[in-house]
Structure 1
Amino acid sequence: MRRRPRRAPVAGARPKRRLWRRPGLALPVVLVLVACGIWFALPHVPGWFGLAKDETGTPEAVPPTRFRASSRAAGHPAGAAFDGFNNRYWAPAAAGPDTGVGEYLECDFEQPVRVLKLVVFSGTSTKLDEFLTQARPARITVRLTSADGDQVDKVIRVKDQPGQQTFDLRGSKVVRARLTMDDAYGAGAGKHLAVAEVEFFGRRS
């Protein structure tokens, strides 16, 4: 059906103007809701930017400055697990079938850090023949303590192989970390549990 052409105004007559309609309440209500949303979102914006940075950026090394252990075998102090060398290791004093179970490494950070990754070098060395000479951690409970006293625990399962193993580990404003040995590979008479190196990666708060 064809649309009828609009009639031209008669000479001397003014065309009718459409009356302006006052906007309803919908637009002001929407503007108020948007303003409220922005107001309540502002405190979370830094956290969102920080999360985006964590997901897209490369974490940096955040080494601890103080370290200790529940015990130590002669010549294998806690500091050997944080010295940057994987041919020196920490070992607790006890040896035998239950070697290392319940023993822990603990370290402090000089300033609060945001932890994103944990790297563990298990055993005594990255060389297989040396790696197998002592017991190795099989399961570790990692506890991160924040500056305000909050604690986060995560259990990691370590493969029985030499070399670097990387784990996701999240914690904000972390000032202390404890790694408790829950189980071990290769435990036996005269063998100590060995941890060659522990490294943390994240961002400085």
Structure 2
Amino acid sequence: MTVTPVLCPNCRTENAPHRTLCVHCALLLDPGPPPDPRPPWWRRILRRGPGKTHLAGTRPRRARRRPRVLLPVVLLLLGAGVWFALPHLSGLLGFAKEETGAPEAVVPSAFRSSSAVSGHPAAAAFDGFNNRYWAPRESGDGRGQYLECSFTQPVRLLKMVVLSGTSARKDEFLTQARPATIAVLLTSEDGKETRRTIRLADQAGQQTFDVRGSDTVGVRLAVESAYGTGEGRRVAVAEVEFFGHRP
């Protein structure tokens, strides 16, 4: 009777059929079938574990079945969390939309100022054109002079654009004094005030600042210092624009 040798899958050495390990490299000659793939997590949770192996000749005790309460408790807690979060879900979605959406122009409905020289009222700084400007009656450094505006409905402010001087054109920009620092006061619907000081560069054209305020109904811009001051020169502001979200 011919005996067929067993070839080692590693070194291809011939081995006797009764051998378990290769005589040359000691590799397992018959590793058996590959292990079963690991089941997904949800099957591992629902699957009952393997029973305990008992020694031969011993009588296994009857095991008491324990209720599987972990999964129902987790589902119950998740359901309760969703239930209590529903009233706040719309607000959270609205806040996320405001934070990620592009801001829009929010135009004030009323304007006023500490004073204004003839032909250059407060409204000229909020009319959307940079060829008109606001200037106070008093000349000098403009300290204490201010612009105010209000909104018909509360708005969520994000940014403010300021064009200082008399115009965005370089040949007209230096004809009057220009604000250097401005104290910004935001007033919300409930009366809460938010303060911030911005510093402007002495250059023509628009300058953008992050000015954030929720439920804002009023804004005051007070001049704290200025460039190019002198006798007969007034601090001028060509344009102020606000960007944010309406309710």
Same fold by TM-score greater than 0.5:
yes
The alpha carbon displacement at 1:161 in A equals 0.8
Q: Distance between the aligned counterparts of 1:36 and 1:93, measured in 2?
A: 64
> Which residue is 2:112 aligned to?
68
> Which residue is 1:12 aligned to?
none
How many matched pairs? 188
Is 2:96 aligned against 1:33?
no
3-state SS in 2 of match to 1:67: strand
Q: Identity of aligned pairs, percent?
A: 61
The alpha carbon displacement at 1:23 in A equals 1.0
Q: Distance between the aligned counterparts of 1:113 and 1:195, measured in 2?
A: 23
- Out of 153, 172, 188, the residue aligned to residue 111 of structure 1 is 153
TM-score (norm 2): 0.69
3-state SS in 2 of match to 1:105: strand
> Which residue is 1:23 aligned to?
68
Q: Distance between the aligned counterparts of 2:77 and 2:143, measured in 1?
A: 57
Q: Distance between the aligned counterparts of 1:179 and 1:194, measured in 2?
A: 12
3-state SS in 1 of match to 2:224: strand
**Structure 1 residue ranges without an equivalent (≥5):** 5-18
Q: Which amino acid aligns with 1:121?
A: L
- Out of 157, 161, 172, the residue aligned to residue 214 of structure 2 is 172
- RMSD, aligned α-carbons: 2.2
**Structure 2 residue ranges without an equivalent (≥5):** 1-27, 34-63
Cα deviation per residue 1:32-83 (whole Å; 9 max; x = unaligned)? 4323433443343233323322333221111011100011122211011011
Q: Distance between the aligned counterparts of 2:83 and 2:185, measured in 1?
A: 36
Q: Which amino acid aligns with 1:154?
A: R
> Which residue is 1:51 aligned to?
95
Decide which structure has greater strand share: 1
State the structure with bigger RCO (CA 8 A, min sep 6), 1 or 2: 1
Q: Distance between the aligned counterparts of 2:87 and 2:114, measured in 1?
A: 41
Cα deviation per residue 1:87-128 (whole Å; 9 max; x = unaligned)? 1111112212xx211211111111111211111111100111
Dislocated runs of 4+, deviation >4 Å: 1-4
3-state SS in 1 of match to 2:74: helix
The equivalences for 1:100-139 within 5 A come to 100-139=142-181
Distance 1:43 1:186, change over 3 A: farther
> Which residue is 1:8 aligned to?
none
TM-score (norm 1): 0.82
Q: Distance between the aligned counterparts of 1:143 and 1:36, measured in 2?
A: 43
Larger Rg: 2
Q: Distance between the aligned counterparts of 2:174 and 2:144, measured in 1?
A: 21
Distance 1:3 1:40, change over 3 A: same
> Which residue is 2:5 aligned to?
none
